[in-house]
Copies of this chain bind each other. A is one copy, B any other.
């Protein structure tokens, strides 16, 4: 089993997420560069190397997509990231907006035994603190029929099950308005003008959420 450098792993994970969210299409050089915060030229460099290692398909000017093997490795990295985030929140008491950067480091520790024991220690969690599913050893993960809050109609009730983007600033905003995973909502009103919504949060106040917020919140309908 080949050992990858942290940089290589990060490229795989980035391509994994880009292609996943964009329905299987190849990830563009610029998109990868934007996510990783590197120059596009550096990305081209790395794509050649990872392609030579058989981890991704790459043809000049038409972006990259993962091979079977690349996908396995990327999925496993996602598994490690989400397990560490879960550990940091559940065991060390971090808040959900503080764990991403630390997990970015911890995910690169190489030891399958460690990951396995961590998983067991956490009672094999299915979702991370942001509601994202944690792949198992074989790469399988729970899927949930979640929709964006913005997709609900007036009157519908739902429970918050995840966030689309988990930057600290968004998570801190959610904390401020007392929204966490599991929060029960009902849509009271929807404004076509700017896509904002007035929402009742069970046991809390009513809030008007901007379109951006509504699109970043994943919910599951309830009756």
Contacts and interface: CB of A to CB of B under 8 A. Distances in A.
A178 B156 CA distance: 64
B109 A121 contact: no
A115 to B, nearest CB: 10
Point out which of A88, A98, A106, A109 has the most chain B C-beta atoms below 10 A from its C-beta. A109
Interface stretch (A9-17, A89-97, A190-198): A89-97
Contacts of A108: 105
B117 A93 contact: yes
Nearest to A118: B92
A98 B111 CA distance: 11
Contact of A111 (B93, B102, B113, B118): B102
A112 B121 CA distance: 23
Contact of A121 (B91, B110, B117): B91
A190 to B, nearest CB: 40
Contact of A102 (B88, B91, B98, B109): B109
A105 B94 contact: no
Contacts of A113: 94, 98, 102
A105 B101 CA distance: 17
A46 interface: no
Given A92-B114, A92-B121, A121-B91, A105 B109 contact: yes
A128 B21 CA distance: 44
A106 B111 CA distance: 11
Contacts of A106: 106, 109
Interface of A: 88, 91-94, 98, 101-102, 105-106, 108-111, 113-114, 117-118, 121
